[in-house]
Amino acid sequence: MIAYCGLDCSKCDGYLATQADDDDKRAAVAKQWSAQYGADIKPEHINCDGCSSEGRKFFYCSEMCEVRKCAMAKAVPNCAACDDYACDTLEKFFALAPDARTALDALRD
């Protein structure tokens, strides 16, 4: 469940709340992410089946994530498969999520 950016969806609180269909977990994640990202995130926004899946997506991932948009446009399974790895957009993301780099580097090896 490695997302385009290298995050492990199976460890994401939003993904876990969705898979468990747990409204209490959705509420807790919405509260945490609202505080963490300075955004108004509601429990009903917490529905995600994984970034590269055919199912539901968290609105940021589906509508705003530049990494996801780029990977989809280039038709790569994740950024590790991209000829431009690691681009400036991804480097900025890695500053926030260094584990994502580790995951993508492992996929490139």
Q: In terms of residues, how long is the chain?
A: 109
Domain ranges of the chain: 9-108
Instruction: Judge whether residue 63 has pLDDT over 80.
Output: no
- For the entire predicted model, the pTM comes to 0.80
Is residue 59 very low, low, confident or very high in pLDDT (cuts 50, 70, 90)? low
CA distance 5 to 28: 24
Instruction: Judge whether residue 62 has pLDDT over 90.
Output: no
* Cis peptide leading into residue 86 (ω within 30°): yes
